Chain A
Amino acid sequence: MLVQDIVFWILSLMAIVGSLGVVLVSNLFRAALLLILVFVAVAGMFILLSAEFLAVVQILIYVGAIAILIIFAVMLTRDVQRGNLPNRMHIPAAVFAALLFTALVAVAVDTKWDFLPAEHQERVELVQVSAVTIITDEVLNDEGLSLQEQEEIQESGLADLLISDYVLPFEAVSVLLLAALIGALVLVRPDRGTGRG
């Protein structure tokens, strides 16, 4: 537990310092690099939370695609030197963010959370492992679970949820991605006739 705690504090420090840098550093290119640091720290937190698949997806999509896109955009627009100025509303915005933070912390601390019962803990951990890998029958037998419980664990997984309970949102998101792809292409298409862009 101790090692995990230390890792957690290091990752949170990385994430918080990095995100402060993203909004406060005046050089946008450096801000984009700090954003990558935040993404990596969040991926580490996903691993701490036994969501290894999401950690890999986080690295692939955020660090691999989104951060690179942002860096391209920063370098293609020429306002890098002018930097990351605040607008006139930055003091009210800071006050609002601080108030929201207070409210969120109050909710997080005050709420009586319905934690996972201890007797489920072992099976839940198996389900989380089975989200990314196939658990062999030998391992399941060693855990001393009933046959029905073993079947349940083997049938559960992110992919199975995505094509059973959440198949409609899954398809909707596919259409959304296609729409975003076409929309982005239309937006950046050079104007016909002017020859610019």
Chain B
Amino acid sequence: MSFESFLIVAAILFCIGLYGALARRNVLAVLMSIELMFNAVNITLVAMAKYLAPAGLQDDISTVLTGQVFAVFIITVAAAEIALGLGIVFAMYRTDETVDLSEAIQMRH
């Protein structure tokens, strides 16, 4: 359970998510892949908060929590992203009757 093993697991998750986001045709699958990438980044940040020495460690011990603070922000932004993303999916489904990205060629009537 070394620091590097966490980084490598996160890298695997990120790359699987990246492949999914680039290669899938269903927009919901793309959104799920983006969530995978968010999670991979969160693992990296929290692992760094646990194992690495932050720059201001000598002055303020609470800087060791910086990575966790960033993870909180990422989770919040992910929640906003999924709400908007699903809104766009529904709007697209209503106008085009499809959630296939290869068939979606416009965003208005």
Q: Closest Cβ of chain B: how far from A10's Cβ, in Å?
A: 12
| Chain B residue, CB-CB nearest to A94 | B19
B1 interface residue, CB < 8 Å from A? yes
Question: Which residues 26-67 of B have a CB within 8 angstroms of A?
Answer: 26, 28-29, 31-33, 35-36, 39, 42-43, 46-47, 49-53, 57, 60-62, 64-66
Task: With CB as the reference atom, state the residue of chain B lying closest to A5.
Answer: B1
Instruction: Tell me the A78-118 residues at the B interface (CB within 8 Å).
Output: 79, 82-90, 93-94, 96-98, 100-101, 104-105, 108-109, 113-117
| Chain B residues bordering chain A, tally (CB within 8 A) | 75
Question: Is A1 in the interface zone, CB < 8 Å from B?
Answer: yes
How close is A11's CB to chain B, nearest CB, in angstroms? Answer: 8
Residues on A with beta carbons closer than 8 Å to the beta carbon of B100: 79, 82, 85
B35 partner residues in chain A, CB cutoff 8 A: 35, 62, 66, 70
Q: A128-B64, A157-B62 are in contact. Are A19 and B13 (CB under 8 A)?
A: yes
A70 contacts B82, CB within 8 Å? yes
Whether A23 contacts B19 in the complex (CB less than 8 A), given A51-B71, A116-B64, A166-B69, comes out as yes
B90 adjacent to A74 (CB under 8 Å) = no
Give complex CA distance A54, B49 in Å.
Answer: 12
Contact B36 A120, beta carbon cutoff 8 Å: no
Query: A22 vs B71: C-alpha distance in the bound complex, in angstroms?
Result: 22
- Distance to closest chain B CB from A89 (angstroms): 6
A interface: dominant SS? helix
Q: Report how far A105 CA is from B35 CA in the complex, Å.
A: 21
Known: A49-B50, A98-B15, A152-B62. A19 touches B36 (CB 8 A): yes
Q: Is the CB of B60 within 8 A of A76?
A: no
Instruction: Place the interface of chain A in its size category.
Output: 35 or more
CA distance A76 to B1 in the complex (A): 41
Q: Assess whether B88 is in contact with A115, with CB atoms less than 8 Å apart.
A: no
Structural contact, B69 and A89, CB atoms closer than 8 A: no
State the CA gap A53–B46 with chains docked (Å). 11
Q: Bound state CA distance, A183 and B87, in angstroms?
A: 8
Shortest CB–CB separation between residue B41 and chain A, in angstroms?
11
Chain A residues close to B by CB (< 8 Å):
1, 4-5, 8, 12, 15-16, 19-20, 22-23, 28, 31-32, 35, 38-39, 42, 45-46, 48-51, 53-54, 57-58, 61-62, 65-66, 69-70, 72-74, 76-77, 79, 82-90, 93-94, 96-98, 100-101, 104-105, 108-109, 113-117, 120, 123-124, 127-128, 131, 149, 152-153, 155-158, 160-162, 166, 169, 173, 176-177, 179-181, 183-188, 191, 196-197
- Can you give 26 A-B contacts (C-beta < 8 A)? A5-B1, A22-B16, A22-B20, A28-B28, A28-B29, A32-B32, A35-B36, A46-B43, A51-B46, A51-B68, A54-B71, A70-B32, A73-B86, A85-B25, A87-B101, A89-B23, A90-B23, A94-B19, A104-B8, A117-B53, A120-B53, A152-B60, A162-B69, A169-B73, A173-B73, A183-B84
